[in-house]
Amino acid sequence: MTAQLLVRIAWCVEKGKIDLLSPHPAEMKGEEGADELTRKALDTGAAAQEILSQALVPGMQAVGEKFRNNEIYLPDVLMSARAMGAAMEHLKPHFKSGDIQYRGKIVLGTVAGDLHDIGKKIVGMFFEGGGWEVIDCGVDVSEPQFLEAVQEFQPDAVGMSALLTTTMVNMEEIVQGLKAKFPKLLVIVGGAPVTDAFAGRIGADFYSPDPQGALEKLNTSL
């Protein structure tokens, strides 16, 4: 029973089926989604860590691979992220109680001057589904704000994004400020105009063009 529930939860995440009332995807209309199935799995004795590692992580990995291969598109990823978020709401108390151990902690933010939020939120959901504690500082985050967040939360890594060429230049100042004060801190950059060459030039540790790649690099770097 538990194994079947885990497979169904992973499938709901992959397909973006949030809950019973969600009309998406059309072929799953009227079926239970990630919300109900995760609650049911916990009620029937599944361990929270088991749900995370055997359902949510595989589900988001499948989404990441499909997105990387252009088999699905941003709206599909958004629905999958929402489905995973619905499941995570049931698991969060288990993180707080210590039943699930975070892999680490990461601070995220869209850089100063940039108000775009969707890409960062999706990346955050991938990290969260991969077992990372995410502190999202929001948009238009300046160097002092990043520094303050790192000082307060003591993360293992910082991730920053920009969608505009006019704001990606702000990354250099922020990265250099972070590295000057926290030289061992891992810094990840991303966003539509950002490239691997740019990341290297400004002193960031790595860049990924997609959320799954960012999670994979994070997992192997720490």
| pLDDT value for 98 | 83
Phi, psi of 185 (to 5 degrees): -70, 130
Q: Which fold has domain 2-97?
A: 1.10.1240
How many separate helices (H) and strands (E) can be counted in the chain? 11, 5
User: What pLDDT digit, counting tens, does each position of 131-149 carry?
Assistant: 999 999 999 999 999 999 9
Q: Which residues pair with 110 in a beta bridge?
A: 161
pLDDT of residue 44: 94
* Confidence (pLDDT) at 96: 82
Domain 104-221 has CATH 3.40.50.280: yes
Average pLDDT score over the chain: 94
The yes-or-no verdict on residue 158 having pLDDT over 90 is yes
In this prediction, residues 125-131 reach a mean pLDDT of 90
What single string gives the DSSP state of each residue in 10-35? HHHHHHT--STT---SGGGTTS--HH
Percent of the chain topping pLDDT 90: 86
Q: Is pLDDT at 107 greater than 80 in this prediction? A: yes
Q: Does residue 2 surpass a pLDDT of 90?
A: no
The domain ranges of the chain are 2-97, 104-221
Query: What is residue 95's predicted lDDT score, i.e. its pLDDT?
Result: 87
Tokens of 96: 């707080």
**Predicted pLDDT of residue 86:** 96
Q: Give the largest CA-CA distance in the chain.
A: 54
Phi, psi for 141 (deg, rounded to 5): -90, 120
Question: Residue 203's pLDDT is what?
Answer: 96
Yes or no: say if 137 and 105 are a contact pair by the CB < 8 Å rule.
Answer: no
Q: What is the pLDDT of residue 93?
A: 92
Q: What is the pLDDT of residues 47-64, one digit of tens each?
A: 999 999 999 999 999 999
Asked if the model's pLDDT at residue 101 lies above 90, the reply is no
Could you tell me the strand order of the sheet in which 186-190 lies? 132-136, 104-110, 157-161, 186-190, 206-207
Average pLDDT on 192-218 reads: 93
- The one-letter amino acid code at 106 reads I
What pLDDT score does 145 carry? 98
- Quote the pLDDT of residue 4: 94
Provide the pLDDT for residue 221.
87
